[in-house]
Structure formats: C-alpha cells, structure tokens
Amino acid sequence: MVSRLHVPGPIRRVATLSVHTSPLDQPGAGDAGGMNVYIVEVSRRLAARGIAVDVFTRATSSDLPPVVEMSPGVVVRHVPAGPFEGLGKEELPAQLCAFTAAVLREEAQHEPGYYDVVHSHYWLSGQVGWLARDRWSVPLIHSAHTLAKVKNAALAAGDRPEPRSRVIGEEQVVDEADRLIANTEDEARQLVQHYGADPRRTLVVPPGVDLDRFRPGDRAAARRSVGVPADAVVLLFVGRIQPLKAPDLLLETAARMLADDPALRERLRVQVIGAPSGSGLDAPRRMQELAARLGIADLVHFLPPQPPDRLAEHYRAADVAVVPSHNESFGLVALEAQACGTPVVAAAVGGLPTAVRDGVSGVLVAGRDPADYAAAVRAVLGRRELLSAGARRHAAAFSWDRTADSLVEAYSAAAAEMAGTALGHRGGGLRVVGGAQVAR
C-alpha cells in the first residue's frame, strides 16, 4: 500500500464514518440514539465553519438514494455493504471489507488530499477509519461512544455481554487512532485504564445541546399539546427500550411511589418514549407485561420515538425526567430535559454525573433500589421550581458550537503532528508536535 504525504492547511473536508447507524435515522429506535444526534449536530456546525462533511453509513434499504444532502455542506453517502435489511449490528464485522472498499473508492475519484481528516464513530467505524488513515495519510479521530469492557462490567440482569471480538476491535482502534475523543473525564480515564490509551492523545470534548430547540416554555401548554392532564404528576423516560437503559427501574419506582402513597394513583402518569432495541428486541412487550404485573398498566403510556420538536414538548410537559441506565457515556437525554427546564433523576454512573449536577439540576442515585429512586423523585418534586432553574443554567453551559470548535482544534493538531512525523522521517528535520491538551 502506497502512502501519500498530505501537507495540511486549514481543515476543509472531513470524512465522518458511521457504519452501523445513519444520522438520518430517528433516535430512540433500533441502533439510533445519542450518537446519531451527536453526528448531526457536529456536522452542521462544522459546515457552518466552512468545513464540508461527508458522512458514510451503511445502506439499509434499496430505496435509499446513494447521496443525500442532510444540510448545506453535509452529505450522507449510503454505502452498500451486505444485505439491505435483516442484518444485526453483531453481523456487521463481516461487511467491513465491503464498506471500506466503497469509502476508499469514493476518495479515489478525487485529487489526493481530498479529505483532511477521518472521524470515526463507534468501534466498527474505527476499523474502517484505521485503513482509510493509512491509505490517505490523514489523521484518524475516533469517538467510541460506548466501550465493551465498561458495558460488560455494568451488565443488566439477563442482558447479553459484548463479544470478545468487539473488545479486540476496540483495543486495535485505540492503539491506531491519532486522537481519541471522550465525552467526559470519566470516559477518558476508562480509555486509559481499560484500553491502555495514550493520555496525550485522549481529549475530553463534552457534547452539547440544541438550546434553540430544547428550551423552557409554558408547561400547561405543553401538557395540552401532548395530551397530559394539567394536574398530573408526570415521570418521563426517553430512550431505546433495552436492558442497558433500564426503563424497568422507572416502572418499579412508580409502583413503589404508589405503595408509599396510594392517593398518588389519581395523578401519577408515566410516559415511556422509545422503541425496543438491542437485546430488548428479544422481548418487545416486556415493559408492557411488567407494568401489568406491577398493577400500573393504566398509568404507563408507551409512545414511539418522537421528532425533536415534539420531544421538546414532552420534556416541558414532564415534572421529572428519569435516566436510570446501567451505564451512559454521557446522557444527552438528561441534558435535553434540563435545557427544557425539567429536572432529572439519574443513575450516578458513567457520564451522568457530568450531564446532571447533583442537587442543582436534579438528583443522582447510587445503586439500583426502586425505593432510592422513589425518594429521589419525591425530593425533586418538593424542590421542582428551584431545580428547574438550576437545570436550565446547567444545560446552558453545554454548547454544540463549543464541541465543534474543540473538534476542529483536535483535527488541526493531529494533522500538524502527522505532517511533522512524515517530514521528519523523510529528513525534513521537523520534530513531532507534543501531546494534545484536554479540550474543556
């Protein structure tokens, strides 16, 4: 394989790799979640800075056009790799060769240096990015989003562990990437401790929230809009219905609250927004059956994933958003809810202690006891007005513009470092640029 020296200037074009899920997919179902939101928001803001973005994702339908303009300056390229439908995420490693070939062929139609950087999302994309990096001689920036070793250490009862093949694949990508992007300090530590990542190449770049879309509003009007009674006590869950996200713990919490205060039944309402995903597909009606066993089927309302503007109305209509996940690399749902002025009760795991400021924008809960969650929900309800103001202030500190700016800095530093290394090897006398700084 012949490597081509690419002398970097300003970052002009990014190849973004998202093998297993498209930024055009609706978050909250299948494999679409916070990562999809991340790619959409970051890509748009890079384009606003004059940086073109090509997002490569696997085609999942023969009806999809090969190229879709997602927004000005952002193009989604649907790559044929394996059968269009009926292919699970665990089967995708066998299609990485086909996917990689399509990515390399697209670049080969242009002059050398067409892409300035490769940004891969999730380990499958990292495997493709590793080969593109070596072929194009541009840096590989990698965002893991979730880590197999961390997920397996916090596995929900009955959930399937991540396979060893994924662990090995993640280790390889961590070794090869020029920069690793972590959402939080906690994730950065996990990369270093569990995967041997180089701390100098591991950057903390927090995600953001769309503060124009997710903003406070008239709660009474929001309740009328989504069909919630004006006097209801509304607990909200938003996310994929799978053991990792633990919507079952919210239902058990609601049942415990009723056991403690039977009169609450007249007002309590639990909203669950999402669709089965991952191992949750094995028993797609498990949550409905659990609600029936707990005697709260009449209080729990299951809704499909909602488009962003409608989702914002649901956040505004809720008294409390509950995020009881076994692990989260960050927790964008918590941030979106807070941006709408809705306090959050969340598990004190992963990135959630960053996404939620305990005692200021919500309450963090250690452990998995429904009684502890019920107590936390009651505490939030008792201080909702104060916590609502704190939630808005906390969310306002997170900005997708700041995320995009930090990523551009990482892209530029990695490109300069790679050019310095290549020229130094050719006798140019340039030294390698030193370790990267943490972006905050």
- Residue 26 in marked binding region: yes
Segment 11-31 shows an average pLDDT of 86
- Residue 149 in marked binding region: no
- Residue 127 in marked binding region: no
SS3 228: coil
Are the beta carbons of 279 and 161 closer than 8 angstroms? no
Burial environment of residue 14 by CB neighbours within 10 A (0 to 12, 13 to 18, 19 or more): buried
Q: What is the pLDDT of residue 379?
A: 97
- Residue 35 in marked binding region: yes
Identify the residue whose tokens are 């093998």: 19
* Cα separation, 198 vs 187, whole angstroms: 13
- Residue 21 in marked binding region: no
Q: Per residue in 248-283, pLDDT tens? A: 999 999 999 999 999 999 999 999 999 886 544 554
Stated pTM of the model = 0.88
* Cα separation, 259 vs 310, whole angstroms: 32
- Residue 315 in marked binding region: yes
Residue 434 predicted with pLDDT over 50? no
* Cα separation, 115 vs 53, whole angstroms: 9
- Residue 327 in marked binding region: no
Q: Per residue in 114-134, pLDDT tens? A: 999 999 999 999 999 999 999
- Residue 313 in marked binding region: no
- Residue 89 in marked binding region: yes
- Name the CATH superfamily housing domain 219-396: Glycogen Phosphorylase B; (3.40.50.2000)
- Residue 122 in marked binding region: yes
- What is the residue extent of each domain of the chain? 13-209, 219-396
- Residue 240 in marked binding region: yes
Query: At the top level of CATH, which class does the domain 13-209 belong to?
Result: alpha beta
- Residue 418 in marked binding region: no
- Residue 318 in marked binding region: yes
Least confident range from 4-8, 135-139, 329-333: namely 4-8
284 compared with 307, residue with greater pLDDT: 307
Segment 26-48 shows an average pLDDT of 87
Q: What is the pLDDT of residue 24?
A: 85
- Residue 316 in marked binding region: yes
- Residue 27 in marked binding region: yes
- Residue 282 in marked binding region: no
Q: What is the pLDDT of residue 287?
A: 92
- Residue 403 in marked binding region: no
Same fold, 13-209 and 219-396: yes
Segment 316-344 shows an average pLDDT of 96
- Residue 146 in marked binding region: yes
Residue 99 predicted with pLDDT over 70? yes
- Residue 31 in marked binding region: yes
Q: What is the pLDDT of residue 308?
A: 93
- Residue 65 in marked binding region: no
SS3 142: strand
Helical packing angle, 384-396 and 332-339, nearest 10°: 110
The residues facing 302 across adjacent strands are: 272
